Chain A
Amino acid sequence: MQQMDRRWVYLMVGISVIIPFLLPMTLPVSITPEARMLYDFVEALPDSSTVMLVFDYYPSTIAECEPMTIAAMHHFFRKDCRVITLSNIPLGGPTMAEAVTRAIAEEYGKVYGVDFVNLGYKANYVAVLSGMGQSIESIFPTDNSGTPLSQLPLMHSVVNYEQIAFIFEVADNATADYWVSIVNAGYGVPMGCGTTAVSAPKYYAFVDAGQFVGLLGGMKGAAEYEQLINRQGDAMVGMGAQSLVHLLIIALVIIGNLGFFVGGIGKRRRIG
């Protein structure tokens, strides 16, 4: 019991993940205070505010992070916010931003250049974050498709962070730390963070310190945000699989420990 071949473990995990896709189960999630704070802050933004949505995650964490960006885009567009997207990830960041924003913008009848802009990617994120404090155009003279910012109506009224009401950073790496230390600390722009479940425990301290207005952690955090905006997305669907796998892991831990104790008692009896 305590020395099960790991391939049986892998098989059980595989079955636990597949079953919810064959038998879909949508389970209501409870909302954590951190997700509620993030939602409330965005809800309280004046309509037509200019916000920034940052796609700082690699394609590998698309399952956890993309539902957050999708839910955020829906929330922003419902409030008629004007959205500027960018990425500090060279491998696919701008591509993912393009895919998410264009699809959702069509739903709301939003026009590129007027209601949303994708700035794309620039190397050296510390220089990018610092430079945008002076002038966004100095860092991104053109958008992701090469159009000069001067030709985009949205960017006529946005010079630097002073015109940005809120920044939502969705990241699977440590760039969120730099956003906090450079942008929030240096320019006072309110920020929210969406991150993978592994990194989320670290950012509770930032929420407590007031550096983040709220936090979404992993697929559960994305599901909470979807529930708050009343829109079922991939995260809520994925909670079925996540639930089963978590229960499986707990069961395996209990079985392993039972085997550990029973084996220990048996050994002591044999020695005795």
Chain B
Amino acid sequence: MVYSLVPKLRLYIRRYYYLALFWTISLLSETALAQETERAIFRTDRINALILVLVFSTVVIIYTRWARQGKTLFLRKIPGLEAVEEAVGRATEMGRPVLYIPGISELDEIETIAGISILGRVAKITAQYDTPLTVPVRYPLVLAAGQEVVEQAYIEVGKKDSYDKDIVRYVAGEQFAFTAHVNGYMMRERPATNIYMGAFFAESLLLAETGNAAGSIQIAGTARPEQLPFFIAACDYTLMGEELYAASAYLSHEPIMLGGLKGQDFVKMLIVFAIILGVILTTAGVGQWYIDLFRAV
């Protein structure tokens, strides 16, 4: 945690004093240059975004601290996540593998990071039950991150010998080549459980429908609104939008991560009140100043 790193940060600053000095001089030079050419260095037109970032960060940190102090935080049930352990158990009983796809986007997408985080949790469960796990990926960076996460999961459960580097495998860099491979795998190996967590595009229905034809139980989660209808139609459980980002915290049951979720919900309530206030003011004909407060740049 960052709080425990402050003493270490002080140590680094003392060590890297000259680097810090260089940065300060650069920033001051930029400031001086900007004043000369009348270029503003600070984007005052983005103050509204800065306020939102500060409010959001403060709220999340406060709730996280409360969670660390042992305060009980209520979270509603998310059926899709409740079903993960049961679905893996089903795969174990049937002696068939679990197929996990952490999305088809690059690692710089937050959805993919969410998918990789959930993979870690799922890998722990499959390692515990000795259930075969297959994780096809589309990008090499995701391959590297996925292998690291799965290996760590197997080590934590004490099943390092069961870990196989090819659990996470690079399939193809092209969207439909990846889909064709995964569909073929589904029809040949008939995995008992398919878990799709991350960013998906046009292949979402191809994957989900093929999984349905193969008789797999399917749990999907994506933040792409345009793909949600396909997952909802073809999968048994679907996590929509923010539920995907909540999944890692939800599955971990760690109070500190649940605190972050509660903070996010609080900010969402603030946004809801802001929208309602805006509707009232705009309907009354005095809302233009309010709309201008939120003008994005």
Contact = CB atoms under 8 A, between A and B. Distances in A.
A78 to B, nearest CB: 32
B297 A58 contact: no
A60 B176 CA distance: 8
B213 A61 contact: no
Given A60-B175, A60-B202, A198 B296 contact: no
Interface residues of B, number: 12
Nearest to B224: A174
B202 A198 contact: yes
9 contacts: A6-B213, A58-B175, A60-B176, A173-B201, A174-B224, A185-B297, A186-B297, A196-B202, A202-B225
Give chain B's interface secondary structure class. Answer: loop
B254 interface: no
A159 to B, nearest CB: 18
Interface string A44-71: 0000000000000010110000000000
A199 interface: yes
Interface of B: 174-176, 201-202, 213, 224-227, 296-297
Contacts, number: 23
Contact of B226 (A61, A186, A202): A202
A183 B272 CA distance: 28
A172 B202 contact: yes
Contacts of B225: 201-202
B269 to A, nearest CB: 22
A143 to B, nearest CB: 26
A148 B263 CA distance: 52
A207 to B, nearest CB: 16
A201 B201 CA distance: 15
Interface of A: 6, 58, 60-61, 91, 172-174, 185-186, 196, 198-199, 201-202
The 6 closest A-B pairs by CB, nearest first: A199-B226, A198-B226, A202-B226, A202-B225, A60-B176, A185-B296
A116 B256 CA distance: 57
Contacts of B296: 185
B227 to A, nearest CB: 8
Contacts of B201: 172-173
A172 B203 CA distance: 12
Contacts of B213: 6
Contacts of B226: 198-199, 201-202
Given A198-B202, A199-B226, A91 B297 contact: no
Given A6-B213, A198-B226, 18 more contacts: A58-B175, A60-B175, A60-B202, A61-B202, A91-B174, A172-B201, A173-B201, A174-B224, A185-B296, A185-B297, A186-B297, A196-B202, A198-B202, A198-B227, A199-B226, A201-B225, A201-B226, A202-B226
Contacts of A201: 225-226
Contacts of B176: 60
Contacts of B175: 58, 60
Contacts of A173: 201
Nearest to B209: A6
Residue from A172, A173, A198, A202 whose CB has the most chain B CB atoms within 10 Å: A198
Residue from B174, B213, B226 whose CB has the most chain A CB atoms within 10 Å: B226
A158 to B, nearest CB: 23
Nearest to A211: B296
Nearest to B225: A202
A125 B296 CA distance: 21
B172 to A, nearest CB: 11
Nearest to B203: A60
